[in-house]
Amino acid sequence: MPDATSPTATNDVAGQSGFLRFVETVTFQVALIAAVSAFTAALVTLLFASRQVDQTAASLLLQPLTWVVVAAAVVVCTAIAARLASRMVRPLDLLAERASLLFQGASPTADGWPQATGEVGKLIATLRQVALARETAQQAQHVMVNQLKAILDNASVGILFTRDGRFELTGRQMCLMVGWSESEMRGQLTRMIYPSEEAFTELGGRVREQFKAQGYFDGDLQFKRKDGGIFWVHMLGRGVVANDPSGGTIWIVEDITESRATREQLSWTATHDALTKLVNRREFEARLAQAMQQFQGRQTCVIFIDLDRFKAVNDTAGHAAGDEVLRQLAAVFESRVRQSDTVARMGGDEFAVLLPGCSLGRALEIAEQIRTGVEGWRLLYQGQEFTVGASLGVVQVASDLPTVAAVLNAADSACYEAKRGGKNRVETFRAK
């Protein structure tokens, strides 16, 4: 059996309502005909009576009857006018009541509309069509909102919708990244997730520049969590409506903190010595080449260092003690140079120092500081004390040393001369 909301039940109700309206109309028309007939009969009777009596008697007879007929006519006409007015106004009252229920959501859109003919009927039909179109649009909008919510709740990346510098919609993953709930972020200034005002301003310039050049933003930047922690993200942003900033912007955000750290670690490993944490030979040569290009016309020097008596430590205490010597002496070297200088482990017990923008005289002073630092250093290892020395060769980059290899060979030659001269000393390269 169909329920009250089924098509069959609706048709039955509509049929019953139509039948009642038909009976009501027929009854009204019969009553109207009867009233008009009675009124006509009374007039005929009066006319006939006026022919049968004399003038005086007729006048006496017709005077009260005339008032009765007039009164009856007035009553009938008033009833007819009231009925007609009721039939015209009632559909409008029902329509107003129906509209109120519709906007309150207390009545289905398709059913319950009053019935009328003429202009009122056309108005009701038009309003019903408008209401049905509105309901269809609301249903479609509801579906789209649910779909958007599903995307925001289940996407594996952070999603943001912003407009006029404020958050409008925030996906679940984005909330997990920053530690704020969706309700806490909604309507707030986007500045709240940036590490500083400077970072926020700098990003604004980047965004405007990229949007102007290519229509979207694509870049890495830092965000700040609710607890104050800083993390790296990759962010892609596009306008919700192309070329219309008032439409807002959608942002896709991915946390790249771990991948960035891994990438940086791989880059660091490729350019540094794992034991001493100093740059390795390849990175030192790259920096020397760069310095030779950037400091053309300016003085640049290189120091080559070879440890003395290091083999004895390895032979006596083992390679673990030798590794400790290298680690500690790396710190000694770095403490004796300028902040702009580069200390590198070239391999084994050989080291080098790049001194960009440094005169030969100043380079010799730094080399001597390194030598005395090594000379005064001691290693206590498993109850034994070990000391080593350092032979250093210093070379100034010049036009007769045009390549990285030529500079390093010259510094190595000066270091060799220091060893030949008695070790634990500083020698300067002299071209032969």
Residue positions annotated with a catalytic role: 349
Interstrand relation of 350-355 and 301-308 (parallel, antiparallel or unpaired) = antiparallel
5 burial type by CB count under 10 A (0-12 exposed, 13-18 middle, 19+ buried):
exposed
Kindly report the number of other CB atoms within 10 A of residue 240's CB atom: 15
**Residue among 283, 370, 387 at smallest CA distance from 325:** 387
Interstrand relation of 350-355 and 216-224 (parallel, antiparallel or unpaired) = unpaired
What b-and-e string marks burial along 404-415, b requiring 16 or more CB atoms within 10 Å of the CB? beebbebbbbbb
Euclidean distance between CA atoms 194 and 203, whole angstroms: 9
Kindly report the number of other CB atoms within 10 A of residue 56's CB atom: 8
Strand partners, 255: 233
Three-class DSSP category at 113:
coil
Strand partners, 303: 353, 394
Measured between its terminal Cα atoms, the distance across the chain in Å is 115
361 burial type by CB count under 10 A (0-12 exposed, 13-18 middle, 19+ buried):
exposed
DSSP sequence for 187-219: TSBGGGGSS-HHHHHHHHHHHHHHHHHHSEEEE
Strand partners, 352: 304, 344
